[in-house]
Amino acid sequence: MALDNSQQTFGQFGGRYVPEPLEDVLADLADEYDRVKDDDEFQAELDELLRDFAGRPTPLYHASRLSEKYGAKIYLKREDLMHGGAHKLNNALGQALMAKHAGKERLIAETGAGQHGTATAIVGALTGLETEIYQGKKDVERQQMNAFRMEQMGATLNEVTRGGAGLADAVDAALEDLIENFDNTHYLVGSVVGPDPWPRMVRDFQSVIGEEAREQILEQEGALPDAAVACVGGGSNAMGLFHPFYDDEEVDFHGAEAAGKGLDSGQHAAPLSSGKEEVYQGMRTRVIDDDVEVHSVAAGLDYPGVGPEHANYSETDRCSYHGVVDEDALEAFQDLCEYEGIVPALESSHAVALAKQVAEDMDEDDVLLVNLSGRGDKDVEKIANEYLA
Amino acid sequence: MSDDDTIESEIETAIRDNHPALITYVCAGDPSLEATAAYVEALDRGGADLIELGLPFSEPIAEGPTIQASIDRALGAGTSPQGFFELVDELETDAPLLVMTYYNMILQYEAAETADAPGTDGASLRGGPGVGPFVERAADAGLSGIIVPDLPAEEADPLRDACDEHGLDLVFIVAPTTEGERLERIMSQVSGFAYVQARLGTTGARGDVSNATHDSLARLAEYDGVPKAVGFGVSEGDHAAEIVEAGADGVIVGSALVDIVAEHGSDGDAPAADALEAKAHELKAGAIRGADETTPPKDTPEPEQP
């Protein structure tokens, strides 16, 4: 169905459903991306930053005690050890460098819980680009520490009060800013969502995760893993892990969606397990039903939609998606703390919880690759006060 | 495709017969569907030649604050597609009516209709939801056309086909940056009129009419099969005059009218309706003034306005 290289779809999903003035801005962005992705100089500069600034490659770690407990050979891809504490910086670095090459002067970004806003503030400081973050007023209030960090790094925080004053409203405010200021501004989208070219651009910048993991597992195991597991909110860490293994058909993919209080509870964030096809935020994808309140214990999974490429992975059965309830994620959080001395992010805990389920059907020497997308420092207070009190 | 249309559409006729045409927008359900009925009738009396009715969607992209707030009020008042169509069922206006909404509203109309069908759970309809039921209902209600700001021409074939089947026009927006292949693609899909966006940026009343208007109209001059109407930032009779003088067949006004609706809120429909009627009158007079200052286009009948 692709008409030209400016219109990227994934099966029936994806596309560029935006008002006409934005079409042109996005077509330019796609052209710019197509130019840098094959530019050796750009890639060399990005690789250097990923290594010296961000701390890549991240280790691939055989979690032997957890393996014993869960009953499969589990390897953790340690994105939690990256600068900033999560995989988010891979994408932020790529896009910021691209913006700089394109001669832009400003970065803007949306943020929900503040993790992507923080990653954007980091690269804003690094590149010297003026940085403005849009965050729903409700989220600003809930995430004071991230607001402080962003401002310390020189970013301007714009509180969005319209609509529901949440993530979707922050996205809308950022898009409006982009339409008004596209000449000097790059909108640094935080996940594999939105209109083209962001889903494929963010996927490619995150694919360093899977590329490294593939090399590392071949080195350590001498073979590809039997399965790969990652959590899916918008889906950038999962797409980054899966994409380089896409053609390795023997590697099963499992995506952990946030089932919140249960898929039948009316409070979850699992559009692939329970939702419908919609055109949402500029893309055709799957979205939770209208009567479901978006909820997850993990703020980073608290998104009503999902990246369109995941919708296509689901439709074509390349990946199986499972809802992981809050309770199971919290249990996995504790397992990883107790058995490995690693405090994972609540988002990543969903992947660990799904790994436990997948391992039940595996032999103990079957190899399971789990993306540990972020560290849990940001969550400990919440867990201590709200769940383990 | 619309090229081979032999019967002129109601919308095109309304624009050509009332040249230069006044096209007005209000969001249905702001502050209530009953008020909208009164407002639409007032605009019709005031000289609007076409009336766009917004069907509010909860996730609009890049609407300016004025329209966004209007949409929020309409949604807050519980406006649904069902209620919207019932309103249109009842409306009797001289001016043809169009619906302006986001693509998801059109796709989800079928999902809402078939939600209770056994075995589908709305999830795995291969090929995705369809546009047919919405267009059919729109035609039943007496709407003459559809505008979908977030539907790219590349993805518009299903809706174009459904509109052709039910005799509706499908209007597309042309931005100041739309040119070359994209412009051709849009102009091959458009019918009724081409909605020429006067300036970049989001919707909202502005103080001046952009140079981009002149450039856009010049770029569109070769597509003489379809009328061109200019919108975005038009709030006064003088703007309307200037736009028509630049060669537009019609003027589109939204935010300036929504401002009137917002100002009066729910404190009685009559003052707001009177103000809307007066505003429409001012704009129509401005458009006519603009037409008088340019060479009269051929085949233009006398405007019926006093």
- May I ask the CATH architecture of the domain B10-293? Alpha-Beta Barrel (3.20)
- Residue ranges of alpha helices (H) inside A104-166 are 115-127, 137-142, 144-152
Instruction: Give pLDDT, residue A320.
Output: 98
Model pLDDT for residues B141-163, shown as the tens digit of each residue? 999 999 999 999 989 999 999 99
User: Are A23 and B178 an interchain contact pair (Cβ–Cβ within 8 Å)?
Assistant: yes
SS3 sequence of B143-164: CCEEECCCCCHHHCHHHHHHHH
Distances (CA, A) of A120 to A129, B283, B303: 10, 46, 57
Asked if residue A203 lies in contact with residue A236, where contact means CB atoms within 8 angstroms, the answer is yes
Chain A CB contacts of B59 below 8 Å: 168, 172, 280-281
Nearest to B51 by CA among B91, B98, B107, B90: B98
- pLDDT for B2 equals 45
Check if the beta carbon of residue A230 is closer than 8 Å to that of residue A242.
Answer: yes
| Cα distances (Å, whole numbers) of residue B113 to A65, B164, B177 | 53, 22, 38
CB A330 within 8 A of CB A387: yes
Rounded-to-integer distance, Cα A70 and Cα A67, Å: 5
Q: Which of A110, A132, A309, A347 is catalytic?
A: A110
- Which residues of B are known catalytic residues? 52, 63
Residue partners of A16: CB distance under 8 A and separation at least 6: A7, A8, A23, A26, A195, A196, A282, A283, B152
pLDDT of amino acid A123 = 98
Residues of chain A with pLDDT > 70: what percent?
98
Going from N- to C-terminal start, the domains of chain B cover 10-293
Domain A9-48+88-202 CATH (choose: 3.30.70.250, 1.10.1040.10, 3.40.50.1100, 2.60.40.10) = 3.40.50.1100
Q: Which of A172, A133, A175, A169 has its CA nearest to residue A22? A: A175
Residues in chain A closer than 8 A to B129 (CB atoms)? 276-277
More confident residue, A340 or A302: A340
Beta bridge partners of A75: A62, A369
Tell me the per-residue pLDDT of B70-92, one tens digit each, with 9 for 90 and over. 999 999 999 999 999 999 999 99
CA distance A163 to chain B (A): 7
| Cβ contact A172:B62 at 8 Å | yes
Query: In which band, very low, low, confident or very high, does the pLDDT at A140 lie, cut at 50, 70 and 90?
Result: confident
A362: pLDDT strictly greater than 70: yes
Average pLDDT along chain A: 94
DSSP β-ladder status, A60-62 and A73-78:
antiparallel
Q: Is the pLDDT of residue B280 over 60?
A: yes
pLDDT tens digits along B32-55:
999 999 999 999 999 999 999 999
Where do the DSSP E strands lie in B89-155? 97-100, 145-147
Q: What is the pLDDT of residue B69?
A: 92
- The reply to whether residue B122 touches residue A12, judged by beta carbons under 8 angstroms, is no
Quote the tokens at residue A104.
């832009």
Contact status, residue B189 vs residue B156, Cβ threshold 8 Å: yes
Do residues A133 and A119 lie in contact, with contact meaning Cβ atoms separated by under 8 Å? no
Contact between chains at B59 and A280 (C-beta distance less than 8 A): yes
Q: Write down the pLDDT at residue B119.
A: 39
Confirm if A256 and A327 have CB atoms less than 8 A apart.
Answer: no
User: What are the structure tokens assigned to B183, written together?
Assistant: 């412009």
CA dist A43 and A38 (Å) reads: 8
Span B188-217, average pLDDT:
78
Nearest-by-Cβ selection for B127 from A12, A162, A274: A12
- What gap in Å lies between CA B236 and CA B164, rounded to an integer? 35
* E strand or H helix that includes residue A257: strand A252-260
Residue boundaries of the structural domains of chain A? 9-48+88-202, 57-86+207-386
B169, B162 Cβ separation under 8 angstroms = no
Q: Averaged over A84-111, what is the pLDDT?
A: 97
CB spacing of A281 vs B59 below 8 angstroms: yes
Q: Which of A6, A10, A20, A314 to mutate to test the interface with B (most CBs of B within 10 A)?
A: A20
pLDDT band at B118 (very low <50, low <70, confident <90, very high): very low
pLDDT at residue number B127:
47
* Cα nearest neighbour of A19 on chain B: B150
Question: What band does B194 get if pLDDT is binned at 50, 70 and 90?
Answer: very high
Q: Is the pLDDT of residue A231 over 60?
A: yes
- Sheet strand arrangement including A73-78: A60-62, A73-78, A367-372, A227-232, A252-260, A319-325
At A313 the three-state DSSP class reads: helix
pLDDT over threshold 90, residue A269: yes
Q: b/e for A85-105, b at 16 or more Cβ within 10 A?
A: bbbbbbbbbbbbbbbbebebe
Residue of B154, B184, B195, B197 for testing the chain A interface, max A β-carbons within 10 Å: B154
How far is Cα A169 from Cα A191, in angstroms, rounded to an integer?
Answer: 16
Verify whether the Cβ–Cβ distance A23 to B152 is below 8 Å: yes
Residue B194: strand pairing partners: B172, B228
Query: Tokens for A218?
Result: 């071949």
The CATH number given to A57-86+207-386 is: 3.40.50.1100
Q: Does B115 score more than 70 pLDDT?
A: no
pLDDT score of A4 more than 90: no
Interface test with B, best of A3, A189, A274, A279 (most B CBs within 10 A): A279
Please answer yes or no on whether A24 and B59 come within 8 Å at the CB atom: no
SS3 A133: strand
